[in-house]
Structure formats: C-alpha cells, structure tokens
Structure 1
C-alpha cells in the first residue's frame, strides 16, 4: 500500500509538469496509467521493477528538446529508454522520474551506398537498420540476439557489442555522427559524412556508452559494411578454452576472416537442448563448443588439419541458422529455466587470461554452499563472457555479484564488456576504474548536466 501511495503522490506532484508535457507531445503520448506504464518500468530480465511519474513519448527531436527543457525548469529527473532490452537496469526509473521513450523516433532517413552510411532516428531497431542496409547490398555492423527490439539509440547509449565485434568492432566503431539533446533542452548536432574529421573532441564517441547520463540521443549517422558473399559456419567440440583460441589463430593464419567466434559450455548446450527440444549437435560430448563463422575460404580443410584441437565438428554453409540456434537460444533458455530472474554478469578479460579466469571462477562457485547453477557463454574473440547464475535468491545476489566481479578484477578485466554499468554494477565501478578516472567522468557529467537530472542514479554519482 505504501508503494501505491508513494506513486500517487508522485503523480500529484508532477501534475503541472505532465500537463505541460501533454501540450508538447500530445496527451496520448503521456502515459501515467499503471497498466500502460508497467512494461516500461520493468526490465527484460525481470529483476528491475521501478516507478515513473509518467512515460513521455516525443515524436521528433524538437519535442525531445521541449520535454527536456520543461523538465529542467521543473527540476524533474529524466530517464531515457530505447527498446528496453538492457540487462543492467540502466533505463529503468526507480524514484518517480519521467521516463522518456525514444521509440517514436523511428524513421530510417537515408542509406548512402557510396559513403556507406545510414541516417536514422534513435528509435529505429537494429533489425530495421539491417534490412535497410541489405536493400542496398550492404549490412549493419552490429548484430545481437535482441535485434528485433534493440534500438539504434539504445545500442549507441550502451556501446553494445554483439556477435560481429570480432570483425567490425563495437558500436562506437560504427558511429559517424549524432544528434542529441542536452539536459537543458539544447540540441547538439555533430553530423558530417566524413571518414576523417579531426576538429576538437570526439563528442559522438563521448556520448556512445554514456547510458543516457550526458544527453538523449535522437538521431544517429552510422557506418555500413560490405557483407561477405559466402560464409561457412561450424560447431566445433574442443577440450578447453586454449584449444578454441589456438584454432581461431590457425583459421586466421590460413587466410580465413573471422565473422563470429562464440564459446559455449556443455552445460549451456544441454540447457538449450532441453528447453528447445534440439538434438545433440555433435556426435561426442565435449566440455566446450566453439561456434565459428568465417569467410574467405572453407572450414573443413583447416579443421581436418587440426586433430590436436578438434574433437568433433559439423560444418554448414552460412547463414546456418540451425547451428546458430544453439548459441542464440542461450539467453531465452536461461530465463526459462531459472526460478528467479537470472543474475547476468557481462564481463571481459584479456584473451590470454580467459582460461584461467573461467577455471578460477568455477572453483570459487563450487566452494560456496549451496553452489549456484552457472551457465557461461560469450564472444571468445574479445574475451567477453556472459556469466549467468540461475535460481539466485534476492539475498544472495550482491554476494555472488561481488564474487564474480572480484575475480574479473583479479584477472585485469572489466566488470562491463558491452551492456553498460546501469544500476546493477554501479557500486562496483571502482573495480574497473581508478578514482582519478571516476573523478574525470564526474567532471564531464557536471559540465553537461550540472543538476544531474539525466539518469541520476547510474555511473559516477
């Protein structure tokens, strides 16, 4: 009852502001009914459930600017949100903030096949950007399992990675220009179709990965890539992480281009098979399974020349969706099988440290009583692993997060590889950044948003 009363008080206090916002975006796009708001204030994992004074859905950059200017005058904090596919609670309001949804900023403006760029609103999904690029014989350099819901503004705000980082790099590598609205309503536009533009600070790079704390991204100008004409995909059973890494090295030295390189464990494969009714992908069970996609030549001959590394393998021509299902079904299967919202920790280590990190982590978890059920998978080429702990009660989440992230720090890694810090990891930021580093980030934030109205609860406070 107290929570309901608190929310009602927020709505009453915000009433004059909400009336002003309704004049800006239209009453139909200011949502305060709890049933309509619920989907916006619960994250994809189900772990983060918050409260917003209202959800506001502007339709263009001018409306975003007017909304932020009004909130700035009222001193009311704002949490930006794209497709709400985040895994760390970074776009979930918790204290009655205004939630600013960018999903209506959904116009694909232009695809430039000569300059190989796409200009689009922040609310355009990754899948739509891919389709627009492919219509011109090009492709979008970022791909991830949530492509149908994740938005361009969201992946820029979190510097998303995905399954093609090994070839194209992360989202920051794809950003050419941005349009973004600052906390006080001013519109910042850095938008030039140039491969080289070395005037002053890299503001698009600064906003990429800022998680909505510096500005609200409204439009993006992003690079496109030339897709491989033919690829081959293999599921390869290997004994250990070192064997998988050595195999990737041999593939590249044989002239193959890595399009993707994903590592899975026997436990993860078994879970996916159980949930989706899939048959065993290989004739032999192995501790680790590598999914690798290459262009520039065949896979079979390289695999055949590596009997010291390959226990078993199956090869198909790309896109080989049957083989990819074993990898892409991991996240859904983990959520389906966990009795609680799974504890998802997206981390990275130096590639050379990955094997010892995983061995140490297994030992750390096994020493606990009760030992949590763990499923680990991820992007092998970048040392980026997703550690998922299932059936974790609320009173153990902090303990287990601390254990995993401390192990990451001990191996010189990062507590967040591609999902951001959000709310989930805010208290551990010191494991990956020095106090001077954090102080500089605070200074940047204070310069752009001195009242700290944009996403006030995350990143350095």
Structure 2
C-alpha cells in the first residue's frame, strides 16, 4: 500500500475499527482545530480505535503506508500539538475510556487514555481519594493527553505535575509494537522508566493507551481566599506564608484579567478597589489556616462551598474570557520566582495589554497576547525575555507546533540532538506527530 492509495488505506482502517469509526469530510470538523482556533488543518481521516489492539493495528497500517499520524485526546491543547496540519491522519483515543479497579493500598487506579480527568476524580472521590492534578478543562481533558503533555494545573504545589502521578504505562510504538509496564510499584528501578520517558513527549515517541495513576488523599476540609497585593513582591510574600501551612493551590491574577472575567462572565469581584495583583489560595483545613497567610492584606475568605466556587470562577474563567476577545497568542512560560518581578516589569513594557495569570508557586504564567499585540514579533520578544531570565518557554502545555522554532532558547543543542536520536530510534519513519516539539530533520541528517 502506498500513500497515494487513499481508498485502500481507508478500507484497511475501516476493517480494523469499523465503518462508523473512520470519519472523513465534514464529520472530521471537531478534530481539526485546537481549542484556541489558532492551529489546525485538514485531515484525510479521523480514526477512533476502541482498544490497544486496534491502536496497534492502525499504527502498523499507517507506518507501512508511510502515512503520518497525529494522536489526539480531548483536544483541549493550546499549542497545536494534537491537531492535523498538513493532512495527517488523526488518531482519536477518546474511545479508550475504560476505568479499571481502584487499588486502595497504593493507592492507584488503572485507566484508558480516553478517560477524562473529571471521571477519575469522580471514581476516586468514592474512596475519599483524588487525582493529584486538576485543571479547568477537567471535563474534556483526557488522561492520555494530560500525560503526553505533562499537564500541571492548579495543585502542582501540593502534588506535582502528571509526571509525579504516573506509576505505569502502556503505549504503542509507530510500527504497532505494544510496550507495557503496568506493575504500579512505588519502587521499581529495573532499568530506565518508560513512563517517565513518555510523559511530556507529546505523541512523538509513542501513543499512550493506558496508565496507572497515583491517587492522593482527598482533603476533609479546605479553605479558599482571594488576597490582594500591590506588586509581585507582595504576591511572593503570600507564597512564602502559604507554604508554612498545607497548600493545595496558589494562583495569581492581575487586575486587567479579573476585570475582563467579571465583565465577560458576570462573576462578582469581592475586593474594591481592585488590587493590582490578586492571589487565590486554597489550603487543607478550615479558615483559621489562612489567618497568618492573609494577615492585614485586603482579602475575601470563602465562608462556604458556594463562596469558594465563586472565587475559583475568577481564576478558571480567564481562558474563556480571553478567547471571547478573539484568537489570542497564548504563551505558557515559567520563570524563577526570584526573577518574577524583573520579568513582569519588562513584559509590561513590551506588551502592556497582555493578560497574565497562572500558577504562582511554580512561577508559571499564562501570557495572553490580544488584538494588535498578538503578533509573531511580540511572541518572539516574550519568549526571548523568558530565556533571558533563565525560564522555560513551555511550562505545562507543551511545545506543540507553536514553539518549535523557539525550542533552542531554553534547550541546548546537545539536548535537542539527543531528543532527535531518541525519536529516530523509536519512530524511524517519523510518522508520529511530525513537526511537533522538534523541527523536522532532512533525511540526510
């Protein structure tokens, strides 16, 4: 079979997954653009396998035909890493939605790549447990995609990113070989860790089909507060104070973003006048845990669960409010906390209209460029500024296609070459997610 033999390829794929699970034409629309609307393109077909065996058969068929494949989960990505660009076949993993038995001793649970974060949280809650990673897109984001991008979310300060949650992995290589290490052991040093290699690899090394997830105790009580600060130094003082209790989340927002959310979503802002910087904190325990954190700063402490949800909306509806203003350039970056103030000063000079918010305890800012500021020149300037401050151009959303051209700013030539060698070893034909993370190399290199 050749790449030109389109009808033969589709017939073979239908024979593997069934007629109704090979989508073409208008039926592929929802799979062809990412959440931002900034990235995407045509696809020859969307293929929806039901299990690992079907994934393996699809990849084997595509590899033999030389057809590039884009693995896709819930399609909540923001950097174009899970959508077609140039007619690639989309491999949707959403039907791999099996939830296995929960092990209360580790504790852990085995799930398919297509299971959503919200589903895992519901299953875990029945055992007074939780998935350590939570994020606003929980109802759509799939576990396979979260592992592939090493998603972080709001609870990294307490539990780490997805890399810290993965105890085992099952995946399929480009040639259809199934690799499986699903012991779920807390300690296992029998060679390099395949799960850690694939976590954050963005689908360029293998297609993740199932994982064992570590679970964490579900807090009996939590307290939430919105705290106003004058500047980054004040916000960092809140971080230092909250680390002395049991923090679950430390989120940062700025006045312009809060005002945008209030206008777009009608969410009331409980602080007036509006402080320049606002820090949303959630800790284990009751409101007394927040007394020293709040101090004499302007604040609103949630009195009940409804109050807490209203405060969280001010943070979680930022992305929705930003996108309502048009297609933004979204830059997910990290800078060392001791450089945050200097970074923000320069950022405000370069793009004064940017909307910035994020996960303060990790120095992770989501910088959104809107309107006339949403240019390639400003994107380049901001990412170079990140590199100048010894940060990372991709914090938790991955490199995707959005930042391939900037990877060299924060990864050395030796590192990039090593990543190319690993990719070449695992996917010699280069069919998995070409153009994502790493620039495509010419065959003679």
Q: How does 1:196-207 map to 2 (within 5 A)?
A: 196-207=187-198
Query: What is the CA distance between 1:13 and its match in structure 2?
Result: 4.2
How many Å separate the matches in 2 of 1:318 and 1:293? 12
Q: Which of 22, 25, 36 is the equivalent residue of 1:45? A: 36
* Contact 1:233 1:318 (8 Å CA) reproduced: no
CA contact (8 A) 2:253 2:279 kept: yes
How is 1:173-212 mapped onto 2 (pairs within 5 angstroms)? 173-212=164-203
Structure 1: segments with no counterpart, 5+ residues? 1-9, 367-372
What aligned pairs does 1:422-461 form with structure 2 within 5 A after superposition?
A: 422-460=400-438, 461=440
Matching residue within 323, 344, 348 for 2:330: 344
Q: Residue 380 of structure 1 is aligned with which of 353, 356, 360?
A: 360
Q: 2:236 aligned to 230, 242, 245, which one? A: 245
- Say whether 1:146 aligns with 2:155: no
The answer on 1:325 being equivalent to 2:303 is no
Shift of 1:136: 1.2
Query: What RMSD over aligned residues (CA atoms) do the two structures have, in Å?
Result: 1.6
Match of 2:443 in 1: none
1:274 Cα deviation (Å)? 0.4
Q: Is 1:402 equivalent to 2:380 in the alignment?
A: yes
Q: TM-score, normalised by structure 1?
A: 0.92
Q: Distance in 2 between matches of 1:250 and 1:123?
A: 38
**Secondary structure of 1:324's aligned partner:** helix
| Aligned residue in 2 for 1:166 | 157
**Deviations 1:209-244 (CA, angstroms, capped at 9, x unpaired):** 000000000011110000211111000111111112
Name the CA distance, whole Å, in 2 between partners of 1:318 and 1:243: 27
| Alpha-carbon displacement from aligned partner over 1:48-88 (angstroms, at most 9, x marks no partner) | 12111100000000000000000111111111000000000
| Distance across 2 between alignment mates of 1:11 and 1:85 | 29
1:266 aligns with 2:252: no
Confirm whether residue 419 of structure 1 aligns to residue 397 of structure 2: yes
Checking the alignment, whether the CA contact within 8 Å between 1:58 and 1:104 is kept in structure 2 is yes
2:266 aligns with 277
Give 1:28's aligned residue: 20
> Is the CA contact 1:346–1:418 (under 8 Å) kept in the aligned structure 2?
yes
Give the deviation of 1:248 after TM superposition.
Answer: 2.3
Deviations 1:342-388 (A, max 9, x none): 1110000111111211111001224xxxxxx3110000000000001
Instruction: State the partner residue of 1:355.
Output: 341
Task: State the match for 2:54 in structure 1.
Answer: 63
Aligned counterparts of 1:273 and 1:128: Cα–Cα separation in 2: 29
2:210 matches 1:219? yes
- 1:390 match: 370
The alignment covers a number of residue pairs equal to 436
> How many Å separate the matches in 2 of 1:441 and 1:197?
24
SS in 2 for 1:147: coil
The gaps in structure 2 that reach 5 residues or longer are 441-445
SS state of the match for residue 284, structure 1? coil
